[in-house]
């Protein structure tokens, strides 16, 4: 979520949210327990007031989103903007397909940083009383860098290496090309979709493990972690409630990963191997929920692969 001054509001980590059986329209806002929420895609999401529309606010937003983009993508691609020409030359001369993908990601990083460098200059000029129009050469160059970075972003992977993460990679460009209020709306929608992704993954884990006596009590841990993950993905880091939400998110994830299955009497060696496989799958599910919540966008490819992994595990457990 974009940064903005956040009020220090009493917050309960009980997981309570507004309830409205009338299925409100998307964009409906509601006060609940002293906090404001907005409704999208069957989810109530914490609402934050958009920054005041200005070039300075947009720069603040783009700077934050650019840092966040590099935080959630593969290492080694945060190329400084002043090395753009060298990054482009390396990309264009590279012939090995696997290496060329990485060079493309490095070039995309340089383009993002060049765009933010340009936008910083534009804001500094405005602060000195020099108005810069949308048709100005600096503005066009900035937009061109963002657009090319977005195109190359298809070659950028999440830091897990599991899949691309285009939704995060495209956010700085979206913030540059739209109003701040429109950008905020798009993020509320993405957070709601992220919450749905978290619920789907949690449901898959509970379905896979729920009927097994070895994993009695796991379902409650999964629900607690999914709830904490949804709170984490909707909360701005500048909100003082993060000091309750982030520790809960980390601690519940650790409890879920440290769950100890109770082997049943007469468990065969093959069954023991299957339970070990199940624990590896459980930790992988915890990790995926963690990645989705922190990126604040769905990860459909990784989720699809995880669902297939759980289906294969269920078949293996069925014969134990």
Q: Which residue has the higher pLDDT, 86 or 128?
A: 86
Cα 157 from Cα 142, distance rounded (Å): 24
- Using one digit for the tens of pLDDT, what is the confidence trace for 55-85? 899 999 999 999 988 989 899 999 999 999 9
- Using one digit for the tens of pLDDT, what is the confidence trace for 235-271? 998 898 999 999 999 999 999 999 999 988 888 888 8
In a domain, 251, yes or no: yes
Q: Is 270 helix (H, G, I), strand (E, B) or coil?
A: helix
| Claim to verify: residue 170 and residue 199 sit in the same structural domain | no
Residue ranges making up the domain that contains 90: 55-177
In a domain, 22, yes or no: no
For position 167, what pLDDT does the model report?
77
In a domain, 13, yes or no: no
Q: What is the DSSP string of 133-193?
A: -TTSHHHHHHHHHHHHHHHHGGG-BBTTSSSB-HHHHTHHHHHHHS-HHHHHHHHHHHHHH
Across the chain, mean pLDDT equals 89
Q: Which residue has the higher pLDDT, 313 or 134?
A: 313
Q: Looking at residues 276-281, what average pLDDT do you find?
A: 95
| Claim to verify: residue 135 and residue 212 sit in the same structural domain | no
| Claim to verify: residue 152 and residue 204 sit in the same structural domain | no
Whether 55 and 69 have beta carbons less than 8 Å apart is answered as no
Q: What secondary structure letter does DSSP report for 235?
A: S
In a domain, 148, yes or no: yes
For position 100, what pLDDT does the model report?
96
Domains held by the chain: number: 2
Distances (CA, A) of 181 to 22, 43, 59, 271: 27, 20, 14, 55
Name the nearest CA neighbour of 102 among 161, 144, 146: 161
Pairing of β 35-40 and β 43-46: antiparallel
Name the nearest CA neighbour of 171 among 160, 162, 182: 182
| Claim to verify: residue 261 and residue 216 sit in the same structural domain | yes
Does the structure show a pLDDT above 50 at 9?
A: no
Q: Which residue has the tokens 């650019």?
A: 66
Find how far residue 145's CA is from the centre of its chain. Answer: 23
């Amino acid at each position: 979520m974009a940064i903005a001054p956040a009020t220090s509001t009493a917050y309960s980590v009980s997981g309570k949210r507004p309830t409205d059986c009338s299925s409100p329209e998307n964009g409906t806002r509601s006060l609940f327990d002293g906090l404001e929420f907005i409704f999208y895609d069957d989810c109530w999401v914490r609402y934050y007031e958009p920054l005041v529309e200005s070039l300075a606010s947009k720069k603040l937003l783009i700077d934050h989103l650019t840092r966040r983009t590099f935080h959630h993508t593969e290492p080694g691609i945060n190329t400084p903007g002043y090395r753009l020409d060298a990054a482009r030359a390396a990309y264009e001369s590279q012939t090995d397909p696997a290496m060329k993908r990485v060079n493309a990601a490095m070039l995309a990083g340089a383009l993002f940083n060049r765009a933010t460098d340009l936008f910083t200059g534009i804001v500094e000029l405005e602060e000195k009383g020099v108005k810069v129009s949308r048709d100005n050469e600096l503005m066009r160059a900035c937009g061109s860098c963002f657009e090319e970075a977005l195109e190359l972003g298809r070659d950028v992977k999440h830091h897990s290496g599991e899949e691309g993460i285009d939704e995060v990679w495209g956010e700085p460009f979206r913030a540059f090309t739209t109003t701040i209020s429109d950008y905020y709306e798009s993020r509320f929608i993405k957070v709601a979709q992220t919450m749905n992704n978290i619920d789907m993954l949690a449901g898959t884990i509970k379905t896979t493990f729920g009927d097994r006596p070895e994993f009695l009590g796991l379902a409650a841990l999964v629900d607690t972690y999914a709830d904490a993950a949804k709170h984490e993905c909707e909360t701005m880091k500048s909100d003082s409630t993060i000091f309750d939400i982030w520790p809960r998110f980390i601690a519940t994830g650790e409890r879920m990963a440290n769950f100890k299955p109770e082997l049943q009497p007469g468990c065969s060696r093959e069954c023991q191997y299957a339970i070990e496989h199940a624990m590896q799958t459980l930790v992988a599910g915890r990790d995926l929920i963690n990645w989705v919540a922190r990126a604040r966008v769905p990860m459909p490819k990784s989720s699809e692969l995880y669902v297939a992994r759980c289906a294969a595990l269920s078949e293996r457990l069925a014969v134990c």
